[in-house]
Amino acid sequence: MIGAQIKPDYSDAIAEFVKNGGEIKQAVNTHKAEFNFSVSTGGSKQNIPLRKAAEAKGLKTYTPFSPCEKCGTSERSTKTNACLECDRRRARAKTGLSLKNLEAVGHYLLDKGESVEFTSGGKKYVLKVEVA
């Protein structure tokens, strides 16, 4: 490319640091592995005892050590360790049914004065709107 400038492989902040007398030293390998698991793994290691305790009590869900990194909620399935809110969001994305869509269905059924019958797992169900 004509006129393209080659960028230095360091940032302005580093250039400033060096200009002000800062020294760049080579990293020294200490052969020590010091990880903060609560940061690097989202607290999943700390979740193990919490999950086991919930399992022992027969609880379906438990509160993890730290909230979900994706949705920020603190409720996980004891059985699968999946975040419940993320699961719900995935399910909603799959069916394309948001609360708004369901409301639209409600309005439709109300306007038409209709109910919908359907079968699931060999059982008959009816979907209808009732006055609360």
Contact residues toward Zn ion (CB under 5 A) are: 68, 70-71, 83, 85-86
Q: Which is nearer to Zn ion, 50 or 105 (CB)?
A: 50
**SS (HEC) of 68-88:** CCCCCCCCEECCCCCEHHHHH
Closest separation between CB of residue 74 and Zn ion, Å? Answer: 9
Closest separation between CB of residue 82 and Zn ion, Å? Answer: 8
Helix (H, G, I), strand (E, B) or coil at 50: helix
Closest separation between CB of residue 91 and Zn ion, Å? Answer: 13
Please list, in sequence order, all residues whose beta carbon lies within 8 angstroms of the beta carbon of residue 77, skipping any fewer than 6 positions away: 60, 61, 84, 87
Q: Which is nearer to Zn ion, 71 or 105 (CB)?
A: 71
Q: Is residue 38 within 8 Å of residue 66, measured between CB atoms?
A: yes
Q: Which is nearer to Zn ion, 79 or 128 (CB)?
A: 79
Neighbours of 76 (CB within 10 A): 24
Closest separation between CB of residue 61 and Zn ion, Å? Answer: 13
